[in-house]
Amino acid sequence: MKLFPVLTAALVCVALYFVVLDRDSLTNFAAGFLPEPQNAPEEMAEEAVAETEAATDPAVADERTHVVVRQSEAQITENAVQMRGRTEAIRLVDVAAETSGRIISTPIRAGAFVEEGQMLCEIDPGTSQTALEEAQARLAEAQARVPEAEARLPEARAMLAQAEAQLASAQIDGNAASRLNESGFASETRAASAAAAVAAAEAGVESAAAGLQSAEAGLQAARAGVRSAEAAVTRAEDAIADLTIYAPFSGLLESDTAELGQLMQPGAICATIIQLDPIKLVGFVPEAHIDRVDLGARAGAELSSGQRVEGEVTFVSRSADDATRTFRVEITVDNPELLIRDGQTADILVQTEGIPAHLLPSSALTLDDDGRLGVRTVVDGVVEFVEVQMIRDTARGVLLTGLPEVADVITVGQEFVTSGVEVRTTYEELTQ
């Protein structure tokens, strides 16, 4: 009964010997039982043909670097100037008091819409009306003095004319007496009396002239008094007008008007008014791009809220900011529903004349040894580096200038070749 286990163990030991220690003998022994291959010469012939084709295939034998090329053609592209800015109210004014007094009007609350000329604040008039009446009375008194002064003027002129006539008569008598005295027909006493009459007439003329000047001065003084009284009336009327503060333009109140009973002083704020229709978009353009922005150019913007608006450029600054060296640009936008608020952030694009540009993937961009931005192109199978300028980035790629109208641009493998290297190219197929 123990013979079979012993025989089985012996056979297992022999098998393990050949498998582990003498595997080659076991392999040779097993190969003797396999049939000989019938198609070995045919397989060898096929392998020889494959080796010959591999040796003569240009694609296998060509050692040039393989790159993928896109044939790009320039297209007219809107070269918009991009900037970041903010919205700004067309008007924002703090309406202040010009006189002192207490508010006697009911306040208007913030957010209310007010029309141009609408009353915002009213100040207690106090004695302002009395001061006006007093100034008007003084004006009437001054105006009454003018006719009186004007009436003295003709009288003074008549007296001057009379004095001048008396002087002329006295001069004639004096000349006659002097000649008669020289001829011996009149005494020296008469000649002296005639000379005295002439002197008296001259004094009368001087006195009459002084009286005329006095009358004219009185008239001027009366008229000056009228002007002074009129100025006093104007000041009193202005003081009364300053008691009521009106809205300078239509807009929204950004604050409550002054509270009832509040004491106002000159310069105290009655209310703040803001006008939002139209509204301005304000941006700052670098000096390198300011010449591309023209008055009247169309512009668009996307606000921080996602709202998109359009308008036109209405102001381009002629002076750069000292700190940033940028120029202020203002764009006016209609805002009839007042949906745009003051101070919102905006991404602005100003439309300019279109220029030829190539749309390429951003991965095609590379740098040369000097650090210049560009792309590598293939011309007659040879790589060339072309420096480019990027206009802007888009969802489909980057817009570049600096390339010829049609160019074969390397899009895959540009980092493994340099200028002057011959390459093997494959054109990519563009899908829209």
DSSP code for 242: T
User: By three-state DSSP, how is residue 193 classified?
Assistant: helix
How high does pLDDT run on average in the chain? 82
DSSP string, 349-362: EE----EEEEEE-G
Mean pLDDT of 375-385: 92
Domain limits of the chain? 1-29, 65-78+355-427, 128-241, 275-350
Question: Two tokens at 247?
Answer: 């809205």
Mean pLDDT of 380-405: 88
C-alpha dist (Å) from residue 35 to 25, 32, 183, 302? 19, 8, 194, 83
Comparing 205 with 280, which gets the higher pLDDT? 280
Beta bridge partners of 70: 409
Q: For domain 128-241, which CATH number applies: 3.30.300.170, 3.30.420.40, 3.40.718.10, 1.10.287.620?
A: 1.10.287.620
pTM above 0.95, yes or no: no
* Cβ count within 10 A of residue 7: 10
d(CA 61, CA 226): 115
| 99-134 pLDDT tens trace | 999 999 999 999 999 999 999 999 998 888 888 888
What's the CA gap between 335 and 91, in Å, rounded?
13
Strands 406-412 and 65-73: antiparallel
**Interior CA angle at 52 toward 51 and 58, to 5°?**
105
Instruction: Name 244's bridge partners.
Output: 122
Q: Token pair for residue 345?
A: 């952030």
| 296 φψ region: left (φ > 0), alpha (ψ -120 to 50), beta (else) | left
Residue bearing the bigger pLDDT, 256 or 188: 256
More confident residue, 17 or 384: 384
Mean pLDDT of 323-340: 92
- CATH pick for 275-350 out of 3.40.50.2300, 2.40.30.170, 2.40.110.20, 2.40.430.10: 2.40.30.170
pLDDT at 2 over 70: no
Please write the tens of the pLDDT for every residue from 135-152: 888 888 888 888 877 777
For 71, other C-beta atoms within 10 Å of its C-beta total: 12
Q: Are 91 and 253 in contact (CB under 8 A)?
A: no
CB 72 within 8 Å of CB 403: yes
Q: How confident is the model at residue 191, as a pLDDT?
A: 64
| Contact indicator for 372, 326 with CB cutoff of 8 Å | no
User: If you average pLDDT over residues 42-56, what whole number do you get?
Assistant: 47
Q: How confident is the model at residue 280 (pLDDT cuts 50, 70, 90)?
A: very high
Confidence of residue 174 (pLDDT cuts 50, 70, 90): low
> Looking at per-residue confidence, does 193 or 226 come out higher?
226
Exposed, middle or buried by CB within 10 Å (0-12, 13-18, 19+), for 326? middle
Determine the pLDDT at residue 56: 47
Q: What is the CATH number of domain 65-78+355-427?
A: 2.40.420.20
Strands annotated E in 232-372: 244-246, 251-253, 263-264, 269-286, 298-303, 308-316, 326-333, 345-350, 355-360, 366-367
Question: Judging by beta carbons within 10 Å of its beta carbon (0-12, 13-18, 19+), is residue 366 exposed, middle or buried?
Answer: middle
Query: What region does 40 belong to: left with phi over 0, alpha with psi -120 to 50, or beta?
Result: alpha
